[in-house]
Amino acid sequence: MGKGMKKALACVILLFFLAGCTFGQPTNGFIDAEVIKVIDGDTIKVRVNGKEETVRLLLIDTPETVHPTKPVQPFGVEASNFTKEKLTGKDVQLEMDVGERVSTVEC
């Protein structure tokens, strides 16, 4: 995996896009969450207040590994493994953006 790709994937600790979820009021602007599963290089599952939510990483677009109609793309496995190594089991803080489904994260 190239240096540029590693840098881009490292941004996962900074920016997230929440897919299909809404949360209660955050404490101090942040919502505590635990990363429970990495779907692929740019999609994860988190647990928030006991509820599982899907999170898509904002500004991160990695090659497909689990798309239902596309084959595994080059470097997709490496991108997924990188994200798994960095985020699986980690506690993160989600911050709501202007829209209900956009947020950033700090590890």
pLDDT digits (tens, 9 = 90+) for 25-47: 555 778 899 999 999 988 889 99
pLDDT band of 16, cuts 50, 70, 90: very low
Measuring CA to CA, which residue among 51, 106, 94, 60 is closest to residue 80?
60
Q: Six-digit token pair at 74?
A: 């080059």
Which stretches does DSSP call E strand in 30-101? 31-40, 43-48, 51-56, 91-96
Which residue range forms the structural domain that includes residue 40?
A: 3-106
90: left (phi over 0), alpha (psi -120 to 50) or beta: beta
The pLDDT value recorded for residue 4 is: 57
Q: How many domains does the chain have?
A: 1
Q: Six-digit token pair at 7?
A: 């840098």
Instruction: Find the CATH number of the domain harbouring 23.
Output: 2.40.50.90
Q: Six-digit token pair at 24?
A: 């209660």
Q: What pTM does this model have?
A: 0.61
